[in-house]
Amino acid sequence: MAQEVPELALWSARLLVYLSIALLFGLVPITLLVLRPAFASARRSGTVVREKLLRRTQHVVIASLVAGASGTFLMLLNNALEDASLRDISLGLGSFERVLTTNFGQWQALRFPFLTALGILLVGKIGPWLLGGATATDERAPRRWWAIWILLSGALLATVPLTGHAGGHDLRVPAIVNDFCHVAFGASWISGIVGLSYLLPGGWQGHGEKTPLAVLAPAVDRFSHVAFWSIAAVAATGTINVLLHLGGLGRLFDTGYGRTLLVKLGVVACILIFGAINHFLLRDRLTAALATEQPSKHARLLRRNVRAELILGIAVIGATSALVGSPPPG
Amino acid sequence: MGGTSVAVAHGILESASPEPKSRVQSVPRLVRTTLTEDPLPEGRYLVRDGCGRIVNASFEVDGETISARVADAQPGNWKVRFDFISSADGHRYNETYTFSVAGSKDCSPPADEEMEEEAGDDSAGGSGSTSPPDESSHGGAAGSIPASGTTQDVPFGPLTIATAAVIGLAVFGRRSAATSK
């Protein structure tokens, strides 16, 4: 009799897949709204930071492609094992075939061509094109490259609500549209946090740059606005999700799904606290430090906060993975 | 009385008739279980009477509801076990609940049911029923599901076309020439 994939492995696979898909999608708005304008305002400064950012972004994209494909395979394998287990047969191609006859199987399987296509589109082109147009001497990436990136990563992102609880809801279309918006804004936010905490390593110290904080200060300033609107949208669509899937706030406390959701909301509340500190206390001081061309102690504090936000953001995705793995009571 | 004995992998029970943990006065002729998500038609649905015998020859799936007609059965503590995969998100429903039927039971085993008794409660073995599934109503033999074949074909054609389209799109985007600012 076939064995099932251990629940912890399945949860980890979901977390990896969701984080990967979020990054592949969220890098687009974060690059266009935050990183490219920040480099444009830094003018000649930021060369060292730029090289590191492009290298690290390439690594993040490749890691996301590999993790997304591996996690998706594990999820399909689990579905096939459950089919085999239900039938008392050994795992074989027949079980995979039966999984592919279902909606969730087909949408999950479609992630492979989406990931492959994103690999073809992005790998090797991040370096010359990601920040293209930020300075006067740059070559600008073709618009259709960006358009196709948005299209492919958006389609990849859509597989999340299509294979989740929204796909099985009585109000299928509104539930899927709302969930898509929820994960799209969440993806933009987490990608911005990854951008500030990991992709801009030189930005924090300004090593080798003429003007310390030349890239970081405008990046933080711009991301602050993106984060505000993203989190507001995530909260609004998340509230609708609660009403759609939970069927009432009372069920927050008396069901496993509701309690997991409470944990997620608690983590989000912590993120909001860090975000508020960054937005209202540290952002202006960082901009002031840039004006005086002096290193700022606030940059260190901000970096610690952003790292904490990154950990909490991954915890939110972890809680989401647990929610997807448990039945909604509504 | 038996509680809702839950051996959950995934899934949740929305409602049932007779209700879990309830006590009914006579042997039910129809047992019905409603889930929170539509199950795939193929799965397991076992109704055991007060003697522990499987008393449904088949079951039907209609939307979120699974139902089974009960033939000869004895009072006592009844147990209903279902094991399905959600048609929406691939989660597996795997739960057991109980209810009781008033009256005294006679558990002397009919000769032709001995094989059924060998199937343990948690065994994936099924009922030993010889009734074929009622395909027109998405039914299945109780506990026993076909070990081969699929209910519908894999749409290899559309999947291949979609794959070719997205790969072609990516190649088209990659071959774009950069534009000078």
- Going from N- to C-terminal start, the domains of chain B cover 13-141
When pLDDT is cut at 50, 70 and 90, the band that residue B149 belongs to is very low
- Map A39-59 to HEC letters: HHHHCCCCHHHHHHHHHHHHH
Instruction: Please say if the pLDDT value at position A95 is more than 80.
Output: yes
Q: What ipTM, to 2 d.p.?
A: 0.79
Write the DSSP symbol of residue A248. S
Write the DSSP symbol of residue A139. E
Measured CA to CA, the distance from residue B78 to residue A177 in angstroms comes to: 43
Mean pLDDT is lowest, of A230-239, A247-256, B34-43, for A247-256
> Locate tokens 């007609």: which residue?
B69
pLDDT computed for residue A2 by the predictor: 52
Average pLDDT for residues B101-123, to the nearest whole number? Answer: 62
Q: What is the DSSP string of A274-320?
A: HHHHIIIIIHHHHHHHHHHT---HHHHHHHHHHHHHHHHHHHHHHHH
Measured CA to CA, the distance from residue A77 to residue A80 in angstroms comes to: 5
Mean pLDDT is lowest, of A30-39, A48-57, B98-107, B118-127, for B118-127
Instruction: Please say if the pLDDT value at position B72 is more than 90.
Output: no
Name which residue leads in pLDDT, B6 or A265.
A265
Contact A138 B92 (CB under 8 A): no
Average pLDDT for residues B99-125, to the nearest whole number? Answer: 62
Contact B159 A109 (CB under 8 A): yes
Q: Looking at chain B, which residue has its C-alpha nearest residue A152?
A: B166
Q: Dump pLDDT digits (tens) for B76-95.
A: 999 998 888 777 667 777 78
The alpha carbon of residue B105 is apart from the nearest alpha carbon of chain A, in Å, by: 32
Average pLDDT for residues A193-203, to the nearest whole number? Answer: 79
Q: Nearest CA to A32 among A249, A244, A222?
A: A222
- A39 interfaces chain B, CB cutoff of 8 Å: no
What's the pTM? Answer: 0.78
Residue A313: domain span = 7-324
pLDDT computed for residue A41 by the predictor: 82
Instruction: Please say if the pLDDT value at position B129 is more than 70.
Output: no
The CATH architecture to which B13-141 belongs is Sandwich (2.60)
Tell which A residues from 110 to 139 touch B, by Cβ distance under 8 Å: 110, 112-114, 116-121, 125, 128-129, 132-133, 136-139
- A4 interfaces chain B, CB cutoff of 8 Å: yes
Measured CA to CA, the distance from residue A222 to residue A215 in angstroms comes to: 11
Average pLDDT for residues A10-22, to the nearest whole number? Answer: 93
Contact B9 A129 (CB under 8 A): no
Note whether residue A168 is domain-resident.
Answer: yes
Q: Residue A78: exposed, middle, or buried by beta-carbon count in 10 A (0-12, 13-18, 19+)? A: buried
How many CB pairs lie under 8 A apart between chains A and B? Answer: 152
Average pLDDT for residues A103-132, to the nearest whole number? Answer: 91
- The mean pLDDT value of chain A amounts to 85
Average pLDDT for residues B28-35, to the nearest whole number? Answer: 92
- A201 interfaces chain B, CB cutoff of 8 Å: no
Note whether residue A285 is domain-resident.
Answer: yes
- A150 interfaces chain B, CB cutoff of 8 Å: no
Highest mean pLDDT among A53-57, A146-150, B70-74: A146-150
Measured CA to CA, the distance from residue A55 to residue A112 in angstroms comes to: 24
A119, A155, A167 ranked by CB distance to B88: nearest: A167
Name which residue leads in pLDDT, A255 or B125.
A255
Chain B residues whose beta carbon lies within 8 Å of the beta carbon of residue A254: none
- Map chain B to HEC letters: CCCCCCCCCECCEEEEECCCCCEECCCCCEEEEEECCCEEEEEEEEEECCCCCECECEEEEECCEEEEEECCCCCEEEEEEEEEEECCCCCEEEEEEEEEECCCCCCCCCHHHHHHHHCCCCCCCCCCCCCCCCHHHCCEECCCCCCCCCCCCCCHHHHHHHHHHHHHHHHHHHCCCCEEC
Total tally of structural domains belonging to chain A: 1
Q: Provide the token pair at B66.
A: 């699974």
Q: Nearest CA to A265 among A226, A243, A234?
A: A234
Instruction: Please say if the pLDDT value at position B44 is more than 70.
Output: yes
Note whether residue A191 is domain-resident.
Answer: yes
Chain A residues whose beta carbon lies within 8 Å of the beta carbon of residue B85: 79, 82-83, 86, 102
Helices (H), chain A: 7-30, 36-42, 47-87, 93-100, 103-122, 126-129, 143-162, 172-194, 201-205, 216-246, 251-254, 256-277, 283-292, 297-324
CA A271 to the chain's CA centroid: 15
Hey, which residues does B140 pair with through a beta bridge? B59
* Contact status, residue B107 vs residue B74, Cβ threshold 8 Å: yes
Residue of B38, B87, B150 to mutate for A, most A C-beta atoms under 10 A = B150
- A40 interfaces chain B, CB cutoff of 8 Å: no
- For residue A96, CA distances in Å to A79, A87, A112, A184, B91 come to 8, 13, 15, 30, 15
Note whether residue A265 is domain-resident.
Answer: yes
Instruction: Give CA torsion, residues A69, A70, A71, A76, to 10 deg.
Output: 90
Note whether residue A259 is domain-resident.
Answer: yes
Return the CA Rg of chain A: 21
Average pLDDT for residues A2-10, to the nearest whole number? Answer: 74
CA A66 to the chain's CA centroid: 15
Chain B residues whose beta carbon lies within 8 Å of the beta carbon of residue A171: none
Measured CA to CA, the distance from residue A152 to residue A146 in angstroms comes to: 10
Note whether residue A307 is domain-resident.
Answer: yes
The alpha carbon of residue B168 is apart from the nearest alpha carbon of chain A, in Å, by: 8
Contact A163 B89 (CB under 8 A): yes
